[in-house]
């Protein structure tokens, strides 16, 4: 039923594996400064078992027991020093833990099973917004069909919707245009994993009949879209961009897929992501930036950003854990919305970090992001992190007297070219002319980077079975900085340190909430260090095109808002968009 391909771009064959592979584990990453005996001791204490390097297991160490020397080695890793008496008191229990580990490993735990811990981004005392939801399209009422299909392909959803509802364009015609463009430009962009053509054409014919009958499901009715291929779609592969899962079929639809189906949107393709949601390298090659196909599209929502920027789909759904919507939006020059953590159900989406993963739209306009978000938000009884909160986006809100913080240091970078500096300066001037009150702010002075180990440990737990099976070696990227090494290294993070990081995260959340209580939003470059902070705290963010650098690459500016207040950053982004023309620019494939 699915249309899929296996390939490596010819022009990438020389650097497809840009980091040399190593046997089973990258020992330099894990045991730097330790001898192999010490490494075996650490592996024993941590219960690494079958995950230790094959070359070491073959040295008569398959059945591991823990000695005092093993404990000493582990204490070095943890920065501790116990007395001999203390070591002897824990040896029996630590050896007993190995039996517990093995019992748990014998359980069949499906990949979509969440831990019995639920992250909540709301600080103590936080008051949820009240009232009802409302949304209305803000563009001018009169829209005429453009002369060329090329111009039609690059129109934002807000305009396409009016063309469909006024029957100037049919859903069948629009879907066929999207599929044809995907097939024409995918050999250059490498943004498609599977086409969903049979499903799409059936949806398009149904939408056309409904619209002719006067039925309008939503502003997305009849609009083609693409799904990042970590969203389960019944009858089609869901590969997670990784070779070990290349033929995986999950026999149900993710909640966001269901909701977009109900809204009448038409799924035309499963789009690429970096393997297991890192970067833009997947098992078929590297996804490309439509503005400059010689460079990658960034990731991990690589395909959604590339296909949306290239006018191949009306919009797409991506995911973000640490920048995977913001970064490709910047590289490809599209609008990306990362909602508040817990706003959109992740049921049916690949889990990377249960306390940080978020789903959101990538679009060609701010209004499009609001329309898509309105359809996919809200609880579904499946994802325990999702809470219901109103979303009101109707009358355009003026920026006059709106307090917007900015971080001066993040708008200064010696590595930037002059045009990049000027572009950001001009963007801030636009906000001032719109009436915004820009005030300098500083991020909390906390070890935010150190808290990233939360992501590394959760990701390692999610893919522990992949490491144990040895199939982690099939991932395209290996070596330092890639997932295989990260998964293995996370094995040596003590549970006590993981919980300490979570406690530090709670302090960060309180500081961030105090900061955001003083402002309507704050603005930064996309490369901002605030990306890590706000992904840990769960705050929403919006990327909006703001110009180009000296190389002609797109640039975006990022607005970060208060918890559950996507409406305000969408207001700011929409006003900025209307005052500039960057959102009307698109790559030229001619």
User: Would you say how long the chain is, in residues?
Assistant: 590
Which residue among the candidates 170, 324, 486, 530 is catalytic per the annotation? 324
Bridge pairing between strands 281-282 and 285-286: antiparallel
> And the tokens for 589?
């494939």
| DSSP classification of residue 580 | -
Please report the sign of the dihedral spanned by the C-alpha atoms of residue 7, residue 12, residue 14, residue 17.
negative
* Integer Cα distance of 36 and 33 in angstroms: 10
100 in active site? no
433 in active site? no
Which residue among the candidates 158, 170, 194, 228 is catalytic per the annotation? 228
68 in active site? no
Residue 92: phi, psi to the nearest 5? -60, -45
SS3 assignment, position 126 = coil
CB atoms within 10 A of CB 131: 8
The secondary element (H helix, E strand) that includes residue 454 is helix 453-462
* Integer Cα distance of 353 and 370 in angstroms: 25
| DSSP classification of residue 313 | S
Contact 33, 492 (CB under 8 A): no
* Integer Cα distance of 375 and 318 in angstroms: 15
Which residue among the candidates 158, 297, 300, 329 is catalytic per the annotation? 300
**From residue 72, how far is each of 46, 50, 56, 69, 101 by CA, in Å?**
13, 22, 19, 5, 21
Bridge pairing between strands 134-135 and 541-548: unpaired
Bridge pairing between strands 292-296 and 288-289: antiparallel
> And the tokens for 150?
């090329």
> And the tokens for 227?
């799904």
CB atoms within 10 A of CB 439: 12
CB atoms within 10 A of CB 390: 14
> And the tokens for 467?
């490491």
Residue whose C-alpha is closest to residue 299's, from 149, 136, 441, 482: 482
Residue 475: phi, psi to the nearest 5? -65, 145
**From residue 134, how far is each of 158, 370, 392, 393 by CA, in Å?**
16, 11, 5, 6
CB atoms within 10 A of CB 141: 6
Spatial CB neighbours of 584, under 8 Å, sequence gap ≥ 6: none
* Integer Cα distance of 120 and 115 in angstroms: 14
Supply the residues annotated as catalytic. 228, 300, 324
């Amino acid at each position: 039923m699915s249309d899929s391909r296996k390939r490596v771009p010819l022009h990438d064959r020389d650097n497809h594996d840009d980091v040399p592979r190593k046997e089973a584990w990258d020992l330099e990453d894990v045991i730097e400064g330790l001898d192999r005996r010490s490494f075996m001791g650490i592996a024993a204490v941590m219960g690494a078992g079958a995950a230790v390097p094959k070359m070491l297991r073959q040295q008569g160490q398959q059945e591991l027991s823990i000695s005092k020397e093993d404990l000493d080695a582990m204490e070095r890793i943890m920065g501790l020093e116990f007395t001999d008496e203390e070591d002897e008191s824990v040896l029996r229990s630590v050896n007993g833990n190995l039996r517990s580990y093995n019992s748990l490993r014998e359980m069949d735990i499906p990949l979509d099973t969440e831990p019995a811990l639920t992250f909540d981004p709301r600080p103590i005392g936080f008051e949820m917004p009240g009232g009802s939801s409302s949304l209305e399209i803000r563009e001018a009422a009169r829209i005429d069909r453009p002369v060329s299909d090329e111009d039609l392909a690059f129109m934002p959803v807000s305009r396409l919707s009016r063309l469909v509802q006024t029957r100037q364009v049919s859903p069948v015609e629009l879907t066929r245009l999207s599929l044809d463009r995907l097939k024409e430009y995918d050999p250059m962009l490498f943004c498609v994993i599977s086409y969903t053509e049979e499903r799409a054409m059936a949806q398009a014919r149904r939408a056309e009949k409904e619209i002719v009958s006067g039925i309008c499901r939503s502003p997305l009715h009849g609009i083609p879209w693409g799904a990042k291929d970590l969203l389960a779609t019944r009858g089609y592969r869901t590969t997670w961009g990784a070779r070990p899962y290349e033929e995986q079929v999950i026999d149900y639809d993710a909640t966001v897929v269901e909701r977009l189906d109900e809204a009448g949107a038409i799924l035309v393709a499963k789009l690429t992501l970096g393997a297991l949601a890192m970067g833009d390298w997947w098992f078929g090659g590297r996804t490309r930036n439509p503005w400059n196909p010689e460079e990658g599209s960034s990731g991990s929502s690589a395909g959604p950003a590339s296909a949306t920027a290239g006018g191949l789909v009306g919009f797409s759904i991506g995911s973000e854990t640490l920048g995977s919507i913001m970064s490709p939006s910047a590289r490809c020059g599209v609008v990306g919305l990362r909602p508040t953590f817990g706003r959109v159900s992740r049921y049916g989406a690949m889990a990377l970090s249960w306390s940080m993963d978020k789903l959101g739209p990538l679009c060609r306009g701010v209004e499009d992001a609001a329309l898509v978000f309105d359809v996919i938000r809200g609880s579904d009884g499946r994802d325990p992190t999702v809470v219901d909160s109103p979303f009101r986006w109707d009358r355009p809100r003026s920026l006059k007297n709106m307090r917007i913080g900015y971080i001066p240091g993040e708008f200064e970078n010696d590595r930037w070219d002059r045009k990049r500096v000027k572009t950001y300066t001009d963007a801030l001037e636009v906000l001032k002319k719109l009436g915004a009150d820009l005030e300098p702010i500083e991020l909390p002075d906390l070890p935010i980077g150190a808290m990233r180990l939360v992501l590394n440990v959760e990701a390692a737990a999610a893919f522990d079975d992949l490491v144990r099976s040895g199939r982690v070696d099939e991932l395209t990227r290996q070596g330092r900085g890639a997932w295989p090494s990260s998964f293995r290294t996370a094995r040596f993070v003590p549970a006590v340190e993981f919980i300490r990081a979570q406690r530090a995260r709670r302090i960060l959340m309180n500081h961030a909430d105090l900061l955001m209580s003083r402002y309507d939003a704050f603005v930064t470059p996309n490369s901002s260090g605030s990306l890590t902070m706000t992904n840990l705290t769960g705050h929403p963010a919006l990327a909006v095109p703001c110009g180009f650098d000296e190389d002609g690459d797109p640039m975006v500016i990022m607005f970060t808002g208060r918890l559950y207040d996507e409406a305000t950053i969408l207001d700011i982004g929409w006003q900025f968009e209307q005052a500039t023309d960057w959102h009307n620019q698109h790559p030229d494939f001619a």
